[in-house]
Amino acid sequence: MQPPAEVEPYNQAITYWARAVGAGHLRDLAAAQYAVSQYDAMLEATKKGTHAFRAKYMGTEQDEAHAWLAFLEGKNEDALGLLHGVADKQDVEGKGEVALPAREMLGDMLLEMGRPKEALAAYEESMNVDPNRFNGLYGAGRASELAHERGKATIYYGQLLKNCDGAHFARPELSQAKSSLSRN
């Protein structure tokens, strides 16, 4: 994914944010480093450009991108601190219409760190504000399963499959949910 060069830096930054988050999930340190450096460069270019006012709105995504980089660098507490800060800010100010819930992202990161009980708490808190999101339900189901909370896993996986009923998706998350429910 490459942003068009003719697009304003604040719009290019969105691509680099997405690449940093994706690199975090894929555990690709080099890609995360590149994406974060490009995001930071787009932020600086925005500050110096004709739309400098937009720079103040780029901090959330910058913190999220830096959090995934810190995670890949083994700086788990720094990574969690950055995401907690974004999540706490979203709790107070809300989030944009298309922004990812930071608490859900925090759940993803905690799950990646092998901390399923904490991940489950983050997913559940996220779902209080953003219920029935595919990733939130799957993450909560997976975290429940890994935390040996079968009852909760059944609830979250069941809701995920209900939400996707009739859809013909070949997604591994749906296969995992079906497999988990069949073992009950």
- The pLDDT value recorded for residue 170 is 82
User: What is the percentage of the chain residues whose pLDDT exceeds 70?
Assistant: 98
How far apart are alpha carbons 141 and 157 in whole angstroms? 5
Range(s) of the chain covered by CATH 1.25.40.10: 100-184
Q: Which residues of the chain have pLDDT under 50?
A: none
Q: Return the CATH architecture of domain 100-184.
A: Alpha Horseshoe (1.25)
Q: What letters, b where the CB count within 10 A reaches 16 and e where it falls short, cover 40-69?
A: bebbebbbeeeeeebbeebebbbbbbbbbb
Q: What global pTM score does this model have?
A: 0.92
